[in-house]
Amino acid sequence: MRRAVVGRLAYPYQPSRMGKWNTIKRLGISLLPDWSMLKGKRVMSFRPGSNPDVFLMTAMEKHGLDPAKDVRMVSNIGPAARAGAWMAGQADYGIFLEPEASNLERDGHGKVVASIGEEVGQVDFTSFTATEKFLADNPDVAQKWVNAIYRAQQEIQNAPAADLATHMQPFFPGLSHAELVGAVERYRPFRLWKENPVVEEAAMNQLQDMLIKMGLQKDSERVAYANLVETRFAKEAMK
């Protein structure tokens, strides 16, 4: 029996929410009605402590699963070897980014059944950073940068998928235009790309909650939102 990609385990990126992880399972299953189906199964993740790994385990715990006891995590396969390992049968479920998930599904190697992004919610973990001195000395540069990000976010929301794929093509030379169109069309219904550049307090707190829960950050090391995020440039861009 051929394995299917068990669902779309996806997660959003910040500040543009560039991608979403898909959970894939063996063929014959179109959705993941009960997460207990993962019990005793081999689940392909990424390296321990990585963002995809943390988000996957958070989603499992949300549905009453203990990643350390209820499933067999496969987290020792390098990114370049994951698709091949999946097709070789080294896991029963796995998380994949587009367009890899869609390609595996198209070629009959799995079925997308769940979304990690939907399960976990917005988590602002990829963002642009600058020193306080740089922002104080170069506010015009920072503002122009954020203005450009916001224009790009608006373009992503409104432009036809084929146009976006054309813009993306030079940055993904190994992917066809059709594959990029498919990735855009799959992501859009899940609103994985942020609509504005503001890094939200709730999203930043959610990230720290997960890191603390997984033992990657101490509660005493929690950073206050006001000390971490500067929103004035983003708010100005949106006027």
Q: Which domains does the chain have, with CATH numbers?
A: 6-120 (3.40.190.10), 132-237 (no CATH)
pLDDT, position 22: 54
Mean pLDDT for 57-76 is 93
For the question of whether the overall pTM of this predicted structure is more than 0.85, the answer is no
Contacts of residue 126, Cβ cutoff 8 Å, sequence gap at least 6 = 13, 14, 15, 18
Could you report the per-residue pLDDT of 145-154, keeping only the tens digit for each? 999 999 999 9
Say if CB 32 and CB 9 are below 8 A apart.
no
**Of all helices (H) and strands (E), which one includes residue 199?**
none
Reported confidence tier of residue 31, pLDDT bands at 50, 70, 90: low
Could you report the per-residue pLDDT of 102-157, keeping only the tens digit for each? 888 888 888 888 888 778 887 877 788 889 999 999 999 999 999 999 999 999 99
DSSP β-bridge partners for residue 72: 42
